[in-house]
Amino acid sequence: MHIVVPIKQVPETNAVKMDEKTGTMIREGVEAIVNPLDLYAIETAVRLREQYEGDVVAISMGPPKAEAALREAVAMGCDSAVLLSDKAFAGSDTWATSYVLAAAIRKLNNYDLVICGERATDGDTGQVGPGIASSLDLPVATYVGKIEKFSNGYCRVHRLIEQGHEILDVKLPAVLTVVKEIANPRLPTLRGKQKARKIDIPVWGVDSLKVETGRLGLNGSPTRVVKIFRPKLARQCQKHVADDDQAVVQAVDKLVAFLQQKQLI
Amino acid sequence: MDYKGVWILAEQSRGRVQRISHELLTRARQLAHNRGTDVAAMIFGHNIRQSDLQELIDRGADRVVAVEAPQLEKFLPEPYAACMLKIIADYKPEIIIAGATSTGRTLMPYVAVRANAGLTADCTVLDIEQETGNLLQTRPAIGGNILATIKTPSHRPQMATVRPRSTKPAAKQHGRTGEIVRLKAPAHCLESRIKHVGFIPNESEHSLQESDIVVSAGRGIGKAENLPLVQRLADELRAALGASRDVVDRGWLSYPHQVGLSGKTVSPKLYFACGISGAIQHLAGMQTSETIVAVNTDADAQIFSVADFGIVGDIFEILPVLCERLKQAGSRQ
Ligand SMILES: Cc1cc2nc3c(=O)[nH]c(=O)nc-3n(C[C@H](O)[C@H](O)[C@H](O)COP(=O)(O)OP(=O)(O)OC[C@H]3O[C@@H](n4cnc5c(N)ncnc54)[C@H](O)[C@@H]3O)c2cc1C
Ligand SMILES: Nc1ncnc2c1ncn2[C@@H]1O[C@H](COP(=O)(O)O)[C@@H](O)[C@H]1O
């Protein structure tokens, strides 16, 4: 089984601090990590390789330092990695990102599955997986929580939707996006880390890919960010302090009256 | 560019139009008003009820195009995308909005790539820029820490998804008229490399998003063993039980209970937050609730900035007294 896993390097959003005045992110000191939801994609791919043999290639489009994310993927068990990095890719929206990733996967040529994370925690769109599938003209199953079996060129998956799990037979090659339920990501092993340190990670730019330059980066992106601002919160809260038994009873009485007046009880 | 009209992707299940469609009509009507244009709905399925299609008109669509075939009964990305691309080719919509549902979130990016269109996910505010007529799409980014307004200056259609339950369904207006077109899907639109082979429904029917009242537990409950305290309040109020991500990450409640940016968006009549600090990512999933009540020991907790009624106090002292009082109030009725 030949598998490609597109992964993204993202800022550690739990630690994100905002500049209150400008509404921009303070990037200094914010660690760059592998998109946490992509760890599930890596784990899924590595398990399939362990079961069915073949190989797993991790790819990432990003600045040169995204190489660190790829090394982590190798440490977790991916066999090789390719970095897609070029100034021409900067400022890509999900359309242009899908386009470049698809071109790279096409160049890798030999693949049965492309496994993406559900979404990236920074952009948070979940659009790139289906976008890659569309660009490559492949079927896509999103929100996959379980891969049941492979037979006759099909892969049977459980797809998590609002009302339950759909069971689907998906013809290979295909793109899957996976959710947390699918597997628990492993920690890198010592051997994995050693391999990751040594492995040569090729960098592909515009010249290595069959792409139209007009479709890349900011120029190739249909969408534009025109404004960034801080969310405003506004409600008039009537606050009651309940710091002793009597105050508790009073506050609760007021709350019950409030709920009655709003016809909520 | 001769693209015009605001279109929604209406969704059906077993031939019945789903609520998200009516929510999208609320957005679409406002946009069409600001743009001086009409609203249309596209829907893909099989044997969709005529009265449900008429209801889309009653709730604000001027035109409904239903594309039908047995193969379209359930969502499949390839045939649905082929149908949507056909609508784009035939009708040239200026704007298409869909729900950020498992269907919308899969179909829209698949189509946007083919149609060479811009797509913005999970918009909270949609508006029209008066000077240009462009769609302004506002969405949370970077873990909800900021809002970004995005537009698609030179590609059409402009596509966006919005979260379910982030608006009320459009009201029915009697006597509204419109055109209903039923089309048989052409055979070349029905090819699919994916087959449905089964379905496992969710165990509990009880849905967080459909409840009028949601009572949510935060890390303030201290440990899983204290959940019954909050559950009891939920029972007294006949409410669904929600949770912050902290509670879910600790395994005190399962993921379907999670409210927020990476969980569910709820918009109930009453949202009752117990021991929740009100991180921006949590607020993203509940701040459109009609009434918000919060109990928190920290007087400066951010949850109070979105609450209508707050008690600065300990849930272990407040909730038992409150449950007692609700019980009395209930038995008096
Ligand atoms: C990308 C991203 C996505 C996220 N998505 C979500 C999401 O979908 N949903 C979500 O909820 N969070 C989400 N988060 C996490 C979010 O930032 C917060 O960490 C989380 O909401 C905090 O949960 P909490 O309020 O329960 O816990 P805390 O922030 O620890 O707050 C606990 C509160 O309980 C109060 N308290 C303590 N004891 C008591 C007591 N005895 N009585 C009353 N009050 C008490 C404390 O004063 C405190 O305010 C996300 C974060 C990121 C970065
Ligand atoms: N720049 C990127 N490089 C590689 N993979 C990516 C990139 N951006 C997104 N992906 C993949 O697409 C998924 C969805 O990302 P997004 O649409 O940005 O939320 C991620 O979980 C990754 O698997």
Residues A260 and A175: their CA atoms lie apart, in Å, by 52
Distance B243 CA to ligand 1 centre (A): 9
User: Which CATH code, of 3.40.50.620, 3.40.50.720, 2.40.110.10, 3.40.50.300, is assigned to B6-189?
Assistant: 3.40.50.620
The protein residue with its alpha carbon nearest to ligand 2, atom 1, reads A61
CB contact under 8 A, B311 and A135: no
Count CB neighbours of B12 within 10 A. 24
Minimal Cβ distance to A222: which of B117, B145, B293: B117
Interface residue A250 vs chain B (CB under 8 A): no
Question: What burial class does residue A148 get, using C-beta atoms within 10 Å of its C-beta: 0-12 exposed, 13-18 middle, 19+ buried?
Answer: middle
Provide the residue ranges of all domains of chain B, joining segments of one domain with +: 6-189, 213-331
Q: Which of A40, A45, A43, A44 is nearest to A180 (CA)?
A: A40
Q: Pairing mode, if any, of strands B194-201 and A164-171?
A: antiparallel
Nearest C-alpha of chain A: how many angstroms from B87? 18
The finding on whether B263 has its CB within 6 A of some atom of ligand 1 is yes
Tokens of residue A181, six digits: 């339920």
Interface residue A145 vs chain B (CB under 8 A): no
Q: DSSP assignment of A212-242, as one string? A: -GGGSTTTT-S-EEEEEEPPP-----EEEE-
What strands, in cross-sheet order, belong to the sheet with B125-128? A224-229, B146-151, B135-141, B125-128
Per-residue model confidence (pLDDT) at position A192? 95
pTM here is: 0.88
CB contact under 8 A, A223 and B151: yes
Mean pLDDT of A231-239: 82
Is B30 within 8 Å of B106 (Cβ atoms)? no
Q: How far apart are the first and last CA of chain B?
A: 62
Q: What percent of chain A has pLDDT above 90?
A: 83
Q: What 3-state class would DSSP assign to A162?
A: coil
| Ligand (nearest to CA of A177) | 2
**CA-based nearest residue in chain B for residue A155:** B194
Distance A154 CA to ligand 2 centre (A): 25
Per-residue pLDDT of chain B (333 residues; tens, 9 = 90+): 689 999 999 999 999 999 999 999 999 999 999 999 999 999 999 999 999 999 999 999 999 999 999 999 999 999 999 999 999 999 999 999 999 999 999 999 999 999 999 999 999 899 999 999 999 999 988 777 788 999 999 999 999 999 888 888 999 998 999 999 999 999 999 999 999 999 999 876 567 888 899 999 999 999 999 999 999 999 999 999 999 999 999 999 988 899 998 888 888 999 999 999 999 889 988 988 889 999 999 999 999 999 999 999 999 999 999 999 999 887 665
Q: Cα–Cα distances in Å, from B50 out to A10, A182, B21, B46, B183?
A: 47, 40, 15, 11, 13
Q: What 3-state class would DSSP assign to B239?
A: coil
Ligand 2 atom nearest to CA at A123: 18
Secondary-structure percent of chain A, ordered helix, strand, coil, rounded to 5: 35, 30, 35
CB contact under 8 A, B270 and A253: no
A64-76, pLDDT tens digit by residue?
999 999 999 999 9
The finding on whether B134 has its CB within 6 A of some atom of ligand 1 is no
At residue A16 the predicted structure's pLDDT band, cuts being 50, 70 and 90, is: low
Nearest C-alpha of chain A: how many angstroms from B178? 31
Residues B196 and B218: their CA atoms lie apart, in Å, by 38
A209: Cβ contacts below 8 Å, ≥ 6 apart: A84, A100, A103, A104, A107
CATH superfamily, region B213-331: TPP-binding domain (3.40.50.1220)
Tokens of residue B19, six digits: 């609520």
| Ligand (nearest to CA of A15) | 1
Per-residue model confidence (pLDDT) at position B107? 98
The finding on whether B279 has its CB within 6 A of some atom of ligand 1 is yes
| Ligand (nearest to CA of B297) | 1
Distance A37 CA to ligand 2 centre (A): 10
- Helices B227-236 and B315-332 cross at an angle (nearest 10°) of 20
Helices and strands, number each (H, E), in chain B: 8, 18
Class of domain A2-215: alpha beta
Report CA dihedral (B20, B167, B83, B95) to the nearest 10 degrees.
170
The finding on whether A81 has its CB within 6 A of some atom of ligand 2 is no
The finding on whether A38 has its CB within 6 A of some atom of ligand 2 is yes
The protein residue with its alpha carbon nearest to ligand 1, atom 49, reads B277
CB contact under 8 A, A237 and B312: no
The finding on whether B60 has its CB within 6 A of some atom of ligand 1 is no
Interface residue A230 vs chain B (CB under 8 A): yes
CB contact under 8 A, B291 and A133: no
Minimal Cβ distance to B113: which of A98, A167, A230: A98
Domains B6-189 and B213-331 share a fold: yes
Per-residue model confidence (pLDDT) at position A15? 63
Secondary structure, 3-state, A170-208: EECCEEEEECHHHCCCCCCCHHHHHHHHHCCCCEECHHH
Q: Cα–Cα distances in Å, from B122 out to B5, B24, B109, B159, B289?
A: 21, 13, 12, 11, 18
Q: Cα–Cα distances in Å, from B168 out to A132, A207, B26, B288?
A: 33, 50, 7, 10
Residue whose pair of structure tokens reads 């193969």 in the numeric block = B71
CB contact under 8 A, B309 and A25: no
A79-113, pLDDT tens digit by residue?
999 999 999 999 999 999 999 999 999 999 989 99
| Ligand (nearest to CA of B145) | 1
Q: What 3-state class would DSSP assign to B137?
A: strand
Chain B interface disruption, residue of A124, A137, A175, A211, most B CBs within 10 A: A124
| Largest Cα span, chain A | 75
Residues B290 and B293: their CA atoms lie apart, in Å, by 10
